[in-house]
Amino acid sequence: MSVKAVVIGIVSFGWFYSCGSPAQQSNKPDNQNGTEQNVMSEKLDTATFGSGCFWCTEAIFESLEGVVSATSGYMGGQKPNPTYKEVCSGTTGHAEVVQVVYDPKKITYELLLEAFWASHDPTTLNRQGNDVGTQYRSVIFCHNVQQQTIAKEIKADLISRGVFDQLIVTEITTAGTFYPAESYHQEYYELNGSEPYCQFVIRPKMEKFKKAFSDRLKK
């Protein structure tokens, strides 16, 4: 997919704010390995994005055809094995992220970027809607030079075309250790769809996203 195609896709979709602050907290992570999934043997690839609350981000990427898994977690901080409570304090330096394992034969990195930029506001520094803090920053963690090149090229093109009213502040940096979030954060929307938060915050965003990306969703 060309840079121009990505830009057109974002313009036609429009962007929306990510979800508000999660209410639950836990002191102990269920998985402290912090290791990236081993996907090389299956010829899969990995991408990691931070765009506010990871409940919304996970649901969005999980819906796309070609995405094998989308795992909520933390990246970009200094403290090993951070807990959700610690990350929410804003003192660890981590961002809430979703690590996406995908089949490059079925979905391109460019399309993942299109979904990323279209599904949150990349112009607000350390903030998404009511979520305020560095843990909610807009960030792309690149796993190789190619990803970094593509991300920077598209970001520059979006800025030059004035796709967004304000300057894009999305950080593009090298991926570090990924720490999966506590189990109750995983597949949150799918498992808690009847909760008020999911009904009134996540569901409207998902409906808009699915309408715009209808030809790219899992069957």
Placement of tokens 């699915």 in the chain: 210
Q: For residue 163, what are the CA distances in angstroms to 5, 50, 63, 82, 185?
A: 13, 20, 25, 36, 32
Q: Which helix (H) or strand (E) holds 56?
A: helix 54-62
d(CA 98, CA 69): 10
Q: Are strands 45-51 and 138-142 parallel, antiparallel or unpaired?
A: antiparallel
Q: Which of 18, 46, 27, 31 is nearest to 147 (CA)?
A: 46
Start-end of H helices in 94-217 = 109-118, 145-161, 188-191, 196-197, 203-212
Cα–Cα nearest to 29, from 112, 92, 117, 120: 92
> Of the listed 19, 53, 142, 198, which one is catalytic?
53
Backbone angles phi, psi at 146, to 5 degrees: -60, -45
Bridge-based pairing of strands 179-180 and 138-142 is unpaired
Does 53 qualify as catalytic in the annotation? yes
User: Annotated active-site positions, please?
Assistant: 53
